[in-house]
């Protein structure tokens, strides 16, 4: 199977096709460079051309043409993914959905929109329409698309209340186009959603999404400081367990993260300050202040609605989730990170143990989440990177202790997840992408059903190009 790039390009020439090398290179990259492991391996990856459909009919046309000419298609939302999800390992076509940015319908509790609309623009439309907003968003709210969030993300700001994106009820419906001689349009709800959500666009292109909404409030964003790290973690857990206090974010940063990496926060903290970032509903502020008043170990140093900081810190959520790593990286390029799940019921004990074992080589950054109705912590720990071997060792020691790792230094679905094959996704790929042209290299079970996961997977077409 040899891709006929020239024929495909010619057939698509009447669409919005990008030909400039610099622009193609840019549209072939995401935030893979967060990972020192992926950085070397993926740096050279680039598409042959980029095309930007303006509607579902054009998506179908592109898929049909690329199918005919055996051209790989990697779909791109905004390219803020950080494990190379949106990078075209085999070159070919990057299909960029930025023109598909319409919000179609808004109803009480739900919105229907195209995949390429930015998360912030969904929220602007639903807020304007009826005081509603998305239940949860990745901290890349300002730059990422809703389609990319669903196909590549897992949760974020709001998950402390609503759980993960994959939880029942957090996606209502997805409309998907398949990669066949005659692309089909399929509508997925319920059990079927798992086929294409968080599938990195490997088995179908999402052309319309229906998502649940929550009320939009003028969230009060705060920073709260603690001398003791575990006090900060307990405070966040206890707060999330207050049924009557509505929050959208509770993030814990071990010292000296706030002092060393948060430039605008630095003047207001010490190296030893542990920080908690919060978003609390305005009508829950009385309850929150009562809660905080019972905990003298907590000091509120910033409220977005009432502060005297010379330079405001910007949105507090842009310190949390994967933004923490971004801020740390900017100051210290040797920093990387891990994604940890500290599950129920020993969430805090496990955090404490990992901190005892690894601080300061690994600094705790925790996000409060809900899982099966319980408050747990997701860790996006900052790691002072030395070698791949040491990184793998740290991962292993976490897993041995019972702290599950979602490895962000892997670009495949399986390795970044639970290292098992998702049959629902694999089976649907057999129907929907028989030639294996959609985002090739990201689903190991497609390329190599017998892969044992004991070393890092490197796609055959990728391997020869790396100079490792």
Q: Does 439 bind its own copies (CB under 8 A)?
A: no
Q: Whose Cβ is closer to its own copies: residue 267's or residue 282's?
A: 282
Q: Does 303 bind its own copies (CB under 8 A)?
A: no
Among 7, 70, 287, 458, contact with its own copies (rule: CB under 8 A): 287
Q: Does 170 bind its own copies (CB under 8 A)?
A: yes
Radius of gyration of the chain (CA): 22
What DSSP element (H or E) covers 432? helix 423-432
- 8 Å CB contact between 89 and 71: no
Q: Point out which span in 280-288, 329-337, 347-355, 356-364 binds its own copies (CB under 8 A).
A: 280-288
- Tell the smallest beta-carbon distance from residue 372 to its own copies (Å): 5
Q: Pattern of binders to its own copies over 372-391, x per CB under 8 A?
A: xxxx----------------
- 8 Å CB contact between 49 and 88: no
- 8 Å CB contact between 83 and 322: no
- Tell the smallest beta-carbon distance from residue 171 to its own copies (Å): 9
Tokens of 73: 């298609």
Q: Whose Cβ is closer to ligand FAD: residue 3's or residue 328's?
A: 328
Decide which of ligand FAD, its own copies, none touches 21; Cβ closer than 5 to 8 Å per partner kind: none
Q: Does 282 bind its own copies (CB under 8 A)?
A: yes
Tell me whether strands 274-280 and 247-253 are parallel, antiparallel or unpaired.
Answer: antiparallel
Q: Does 289 bind its own copies (CB under 8 A)?
A: yes
Query: What Å distances lie between residue 386 and 53, 253, 417, CA to CA?
Result: 43, 22, 23
Q: What is the 3-state secondary structure (H, E, C) of 102-127?
A: CEEEEECCEEEECCCCEHHHHHHHHH
**296 burial type by CB count under 10 A (0-12 exposed, 13-18 middle, 19+ buried):** exposed
Q: Does 370 bind its own copies (CB under 8 A)?
A: yes
Tokens of 287: 């309850």
DSSP for 171-236 reads --EEEEE--SSS--EEEE-GGGGGGTTTSTTSS-EEEEEEEEEEE---PEEEEEEESSHHHHHHHH
Tokens of 30: 């995401």
Decide which of ligand FAD, its own copies, none touches 213; Cβ closer than 5 to 8 Å per partner kind: its own copies
- Tell the smallest beta-carbon distance from residue 213 to its own copies (Å): 7
Query: How many CB atoms lie under 10 A from the CB of residue 314?
Result: 11
Q: Whose Cβ is closer to its own copies: residue 282's or residue 460's?
A: 282
- Tell the smallest beta-carbon distance from residue 103 to its own copies (Å): 16
- Tell the smallest beta-carbon distance from residue 322 to ligand FAD (Å): 3
- Tell the smallest beta-carbon distance from residue 389 to ligand FAD (Å): 26
The DSSP bridge partners found for residue 106 are 111
Q: Pattern of binders to its own copies over 227-246, x per CB under 8 A?
A: -------------xxxxxxx
Q: Does 213 bind its own copies (CB under 8 A)?
A: yes
Distance between CA atoms of 101 and 390, rounded to whole angstroms?
Answer: 43
Q: Point out which span in 7-15, 314-322, 369-377, 446-454 binds its own copies (CB under 8 A).
A: 369-377
Name the site residues for ligand FAD (rule: CB under 6 A).
30-31, 74-82, 85-86, 97, 115, 138-140, 144-145, 147-149, 151-156, 200-201, 205-206, 321-323, 326, 439
- 8 Å CB contact between 380 and 367: yes
Among 44, 131, 184, 271, contact with its own copies (rule: CB under 8 A): 131
Tell me which residues touch its own copies (CB under 8 A). 107-110, 130-132, 135, 161-164, 167-170, 172-173, 189-191, 212-218, 240-246, 281-284, 286-291, 293, 345, 370-375
């Amino acid at each position: 199977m040899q891709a006929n790039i020239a024929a495909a390009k010619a057939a698509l020439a009447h669409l919005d096709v990008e030909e400039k090398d610099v622009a193609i290179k840019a549209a072939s990259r995401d935030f893979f460079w967060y990972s020192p492991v992926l950085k070397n391996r993926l740096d050279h990856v680039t598409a042959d051309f980029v095309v930007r459909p303006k509607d579902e009919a054009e998506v179908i046309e592109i898929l049909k043409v690329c199918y005919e000419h055996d051209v790989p298609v990697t779909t791109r939302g905004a390219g803020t993914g950080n494990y190379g999800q949106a990078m075209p390992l085999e070159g070919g076509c990057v299909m960029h959905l930025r023109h598909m940015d319409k919000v179609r319908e808004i109803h009480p509790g739900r919105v229907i929109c195209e995949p390429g609309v930015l998360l912030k623009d969904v929220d602007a439309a639903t807020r304007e329409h009826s005081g509603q907003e998305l239940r949860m968003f990745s901290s890349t709210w300002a730059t990422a698309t809703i389609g990319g969030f669903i196909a590549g993300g897992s949760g974020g700001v709001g998950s402390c209340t609503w759980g993960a994106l994959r939880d029942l009820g957090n996606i209502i419906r997805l409309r998907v186009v398949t990669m066949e001689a005659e692309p089909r349009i399929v509508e997925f709800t319920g059990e079927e959603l798992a086929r294409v959500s968080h599938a990195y666009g490997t088995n179908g292109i999402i052309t319309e999404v229906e998502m649940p909404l929550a009320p939009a409030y003028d969230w009060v964003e705060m920073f709260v400081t603690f001398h003791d790290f575990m006090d900060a973690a307990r405070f966040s857990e206890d707060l999330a367990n207050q049924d009557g206090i509505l929050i959208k974010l509770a993030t814990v940063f071990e010292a000296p993260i706030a002092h060393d990496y948060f430039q605008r926060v630095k003047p207001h903290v010490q190296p030893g300050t542990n920080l908690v970032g919060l978003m609390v509903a305005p009508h829950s502020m009385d309850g929150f202040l009562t809660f905080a008043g019972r905990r003298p170990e907590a000091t509120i140093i910033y409220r977005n609605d009432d502060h005297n900081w010379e330079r405001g810190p910007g949105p507090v959520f842009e310190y949390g989730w994967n933004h923490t790593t971004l801020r740390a990286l900017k100051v210290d390029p040797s920093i990387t990170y891990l994604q940890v799940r500290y599950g129920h019921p020993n969430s805090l004990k496990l955090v404490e143990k990992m901190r005892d074992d690894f601080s300061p080589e690994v600094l705790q950054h925790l996000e409060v989440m809900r899982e099966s109705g319980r408050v747990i912590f997701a860790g996006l720990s900052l790691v002072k990177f030395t070698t791949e071997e040491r990184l793998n060792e740290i991962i292993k020691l976490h897993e041995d202790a019972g702290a599950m790792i979602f490895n962000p230094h892997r670009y495949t679905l399986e390795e970044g997840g639970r290292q098992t094959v998702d049959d629902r996704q694999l089976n649907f790929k057999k129907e929907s992408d028989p030639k294996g042209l959609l985002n090739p290299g990201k689903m190991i079970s497609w390329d190599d059903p017998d892969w044992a996961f004991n070393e890092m997977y490197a796609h055959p077409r990728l391997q020869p190009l790396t100079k490792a």
